[in-house]
Amino acid sequence: MPVERKQGAYPELSVFVVRGRITRRELEEAIVESYQHSPPQGLWDLREASLEELSGSDLRSLMALVASHAAHHRPTCSAVVAGDEATFGLARMLASYVQDLPLELRTFRRLEDA
């Protein structure tokens, strides 16, 4: 799977590094894992990811999965770092989908800003 989980700079943070092409199924598995085994805050590093295989319906499906898990957890904050304009735009779309969930999702272009 092109998603690697690392411990972040502090105990409450997990970093998910995504490299190469990734499918909806692979992202679903990583999201489920992030809610089952990780600290509640996550940084998703998509700088080396290719999301070109994801469709609008894939994004809605991913957000439904996030919503189903987020509803059973305390409010959290996550960040997405995008490596190109297309990924940044997709991440912003994802952020707009989670507005009504107990989750804050922020999108950045640089890792240092996240």
49-79 residue pLDDT tens: 988 888 889 988 988 888 888 777 776 788 9
CA angle 12, 32, 60 (to 5 degrees): 115
Per CATH, which fold does 3-113 belong to? Transcription Regulator spoIIAA (3.30.750)
Beta strands in 30-92 (DSSP E): 41-50, 76-82
Distance CA(107)–CA(36), nearest Å, equals 23
Residue 99 has pLDDT above 90, yes or no: no
CA angle 103, 8, 17 (to 5 degrees): 80
109 compared with 68, residue with greater pLDDT:
109
Task: Give the predicted TM-score (pTM) of the model.
Answer: 0.86
Domain borders along the chain are 3-113
21 compared with 40, residue with greater pLDDT:
21
Residue 36 has pLDDT above 70, yes or no: yes
What lies within 8 Å, CB to CB, of 90 at 6+ separation is: 51, 54, 59, 82
